Amino acid sequence: MSENQKKVVLAYSGGLDTTCILFWLKEQGYQVICYTADVGQEEDLDQVRQQALKLGAIKAIVDNRIEEFVTEFVYPSLAYGGIYQGRYLLGTSLCRPCISKGITRVANEEKAEFIAHGATGKGNDQIRFELSCISLDSNIKCITPWRMESFYNRFEGRLDLIEYAKSNGFKVTATPDKPYSTDANIMHISFESGVLEDPLHPPIDDMYLMTANPSQWPNEAEEIKITFSEGIPRLVENLNTKEKIDKPIDILKYLNKLGGKHGIGRIDIVEDRYIGMKSRGVYETPGGTIIWNAVRDLELLCLDREVNQIRTQLAEKFAEKVYYGLWYSPECHYIRACLKLSQKLVNGYVILQLFKGNAYIRGRKAIKSLYDQQLVSMDVQGQFTPNNADGFIKTSAIRLTAFNNVYKQSPYSS
């Protein structure tokens, strides 16, 4: 092996794109170190590592990042209200900065000048990987095959890669019959590409991996209790089976299992990519969806109205920054610090019923609740004098009266 060959650390999943890219980088004369992050994708990662070595990588590293991913990315995002365009809980978006942290560390340890990834030139992941890595180490250079003419002129798409793999004698899991792309971690799995690029084409029933199809949903509901501390789930109790789960990874795994059984957390959406085009994605996020529903409900007992409104506004900006690959940016650090502070008072538990694709809220209790049952009751006066509302309404109506005196009919009416 030549001493002057340049080293590149490849973010390697063992899937079609990165397997072909590994082989292609070798053809270009690079020494390739394959980096695979274990983020709970439930694959045989030792087999992925062995495959990388068999295909000519000089080193193949499997890095267990599950606990860090869950505790530093997934749970904070769910607590802070991270949801993109009102539906997507950011499973892939959150994973990229976690992986980038690992690949940047390995590149420094191995004295590699380059990193590489298999993200498409039309997608979000190229931005997420590169902006994250640059934020962590501005000296890192990135090789981006799907943006290089010599690569994309040779491989127009996934079918060309499948043929390339076949002609070079190595196996990949993708086939011409199922050419859609998947990305999995402990929080979710995503599906895109292939037949899914037609927004009218329904998802394939046997495609789903984390959630049961409607015909398989149980006819019996299940009730659980989730206890939160500062917006983070600390304990899950199954009120039917009396099981108790209290470790961070185990909580998410358990809620994935229960939510998956009841078909919770499956969405099919068209979203706006950062790069400017719309794309169609299908996602399964069972445990994350249950936690999301529960913590949003508990917040309403714990947070002042104005604080919660500001938290909601900041959460929208936070989700946008994460989706755009800016987890490590100055503004995202600042927003996260504000959102973390908002969760300081979110302590208590929520009871949910899991049934037929939904996580229904059945009850909630906060350690310190702003809900005053006597004050709000329709049966007792409490500390509120009803005629006080008269002045409140008159004061609120001042601006409406002024407008009506000038414009008898609204100038904004169509």
187 close to 252: Cβ distance less than 8 angstroms: yes
Total H helices, total E strands in the chain: 15, 14
Return the C-alpha torsion angle 252, 254, 260, 263, nearest 10: -90
Catalytic residue among 77, 132, 135, 181: 181
Whole-number Å distance between alpha carbons of 82 and 320: 8
Q: Which of 87, 122, 106 is nearest to 17 (CA)?
A: 122
Q: For residue 269, what is the DSSP state?
A: E
193 catalytic? Reply is no
70 close to 186: Cβ distance less than 8 angstroms: yes
137 catalytic? Reply is no
| Exposure letters 370-401 (e unless 16+ CB within 10 A, then b) | eeeeeeeeeeeeeeeeeeeeeeeeeeeeeeee
63 catalytic? Reply is no
364 catalytic? Reply is no
Q: For residue 72, what is the DSSP state?
A: I
Number of Cβ within a 10 Å radius of residue 31: 18
Catalytic residue among 125, 128, 193, 342: 125
Catalytic residue among 17, 100, 190, 342: 17
Whole-number Å distance between alpha carbons of 155 and 188: 29
Catalytic residue among 49, 65, 96, 280: 96
Whole-number Å distance between alpha carbons of 123 and 325: 11
Q: State which H helix or E strand residue 36 sits in.
A: strand 31-38
Residues in a beta bridge with 11: 35
- What CA–CA distances, in Å, run from 61 to 6, 38, 46, 165, 390? 18, 10, 9, 22, 70
Report the SS3 class of residue 22.
Answer: helix
Which residues are the active-site residues?
17, 96, 125, 181
